[in-house]
């Protein structure tokens, strides 16, 4: 189906964690299309995940200053058309970006059929209700590729995140302040979420944390407004 393809766009425009979980699928795309130009489209908040990915040739960052409003939509559509992509693999996005993809001159548009407009945008769609959490988020991404003949060698590809020297230094300083012993590996446990899908009960996070503590340091993290949740998991 995709013989001769050499220009591919991958799209995930929400939060850092979800963008990170597209990196196994991106690695699979690179193996399938070793000489292709593969470009990632991503939100500002998660842009560094794609910028540091060795399998991507370039990154389109959805800067609101450039792509806001109707004029921004036209500029985004123009950028997509100039790139002459032959495939767009959309793991998640909103209506405006989907509209730009639909009219961006891309022959093959792969994506999850989950919203009303997705049936109009993706001509190679797969019914997915990710909020039901029937499988891991990374596996949903891999499923999209497999459905349309893009091979995935391993059952679970590794995620890829490159940490630069400045971030590594900040992390080391944080570990020292928290008294974390570096001779053990550290696992981050993040019980919070934005509410777009089902989440574990707190008791499950507490039980997992106890098991992990037998072999690792465990760092419980949280976002804005999640301090009480973090405290309950730590104290449990």
Give pLDDT, residue 45.
92
Residue of 122, 130, 146, 112 whose CA lies nearest to 25:
146
Full residue range of the structural domain in which residue 30 is found: 7-147
Mean residue pLDDT across the chain: 90
Note the pLDDT tens digit of each residue in 80-98: 999 999 999 999 999 999 9
Residues 18 and 131 in one domain: yes
> Hey, what's the torsion of the CAs at 97, 99, 101, 104, to 10 degrees?
-130
Residues 109 and 82 in one domain: yes
Q: What is the mean pLDDT of residues 55-73?
A: 92
Asked if the structure places residue 158 within a domain, the reply is no
Residues 30 and 131 in one domain: yes
Note the pLDDT tens digit of each residue in 22-40: 999 999 999 999 999 999 9
Residues 115 and 222 in one domain: no
CA distances from 47 to 16, 58, 80, 85, 236 (A): 8, 11, 18, 20, 35
> Could you say which of 147, 179, 200 is where a domain stops?
147
In the chain, pLDDT over 70 holds for what percent of residues?
Answer: 97
Task: Out of 43-57, 150-164, 220-234, pick the least confident.
Answer: 150-164
Burial 35-54 (b: 16+ CB within 10 A, else e): ebebbbbbbeebbbbbeebe
Asked if the structure places residue 152 within a domain, the reply is no
In the chain, pLDDT over 90 holds for what percent of residues?
Answer: 59
Give pLDDT, residue 1.
73
Asked if the structure places residue 2 within a domain, the reply is no
Task: Out of 45-49, 174-178, 180-184, pick the least confident.
Answer: 180-184
> Could you say which of 117, 147, 177 is where a domain stops?
147
The answer on pLDDT for 151 being more than 80 is no
Residues 100 and 129 in one domain: yes
Asked if the structure places residue 16 within a domain, the reply is yes
Asked if the structure places residue 155 within a domain, the reply is no
CA distance 221 to 141: 25
Give pLDDT, residue 104.
95
Residues 172 and 204 in one domain: yes
Residues 28 and 99 in one domain: yes
Cβ count near 106 (within 10 Å): 22
Number of domains, the chain: 2
pTM of the model: 0.85
Residues 89 and 194 in one domain: no
Q: What is the mean pLDDT of residues 220-228?
A: 89
Residues 92 and 205 in one domain: no
The answer on pLDDT for 197 being more than 80 is no
Q: Between helices 227-235 and 202-212, what is the axis angle to 10°?
A: 50
> Could you say which of 101, 118, 147 is where a domain stops?
147
Give pLDDT, residue 153.
66
Residues 105 and 23 in one domain: yes
Domain with 179 in it: what CATH number?
Answer: 3.40.50.2000
Q: Grade residue 154 by pLDDT with cuts at 50, 70 and 90.
A: low
Asked if the structure places residue 135 within a domain, the reply is yes
Residues 136 and 180 in one domain: no
Residues 139 and 227 in one domain: no
């Amino acid at each position: 189906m995709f013989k001769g393809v050499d220009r591919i766009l991958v799209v995930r425009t929400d939060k850092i964690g979800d963008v990170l979980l597209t990196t196994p699928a991106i690695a699979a795309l690179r193996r399938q299309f070793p000489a292709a130009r593969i470009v990632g489209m991503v939100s500002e908040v998660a842009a560094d995940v794609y910028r540091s990915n060795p399998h991507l040739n370039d990154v389109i960052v959805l800067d609101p200053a450039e792509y806001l409003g109707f004029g921004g939509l036209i500029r985004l559509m123009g950028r997509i058309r100039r790139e002459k992509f032959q495939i767009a693999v959309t793991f998640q996005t909103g209506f405006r970006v989907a509209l730009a993809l639909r009219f961006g001159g891309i022959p093959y548009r792969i994506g999850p059929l989950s919203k009303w407009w997705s049936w109009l945008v993706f001509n190679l769609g797969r019914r997915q209700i990710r909020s039901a959490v029937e499988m891991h988020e990374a596996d949903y991404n891999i499923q999209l590729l497999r459905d349309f003949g893009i091979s995935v060698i391993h059952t679970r590809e590794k995620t890829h995140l490159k940490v630069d020297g400045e971030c590594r230094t900040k992390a080391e300083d944080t570990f020292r302040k928290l008294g974390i012993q570096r001779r053990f590996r550290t696992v981050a446990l993040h019980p919070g979420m934005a509410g777009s899908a089902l989440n574990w009960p707190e008791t499950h996070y507490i039980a997992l944390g106890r098991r992990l503590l037998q072999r690792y340091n465990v760092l419980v993290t949280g976002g804005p407004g999640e301090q009480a949740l973090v405290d309950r998991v730590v104290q449990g």
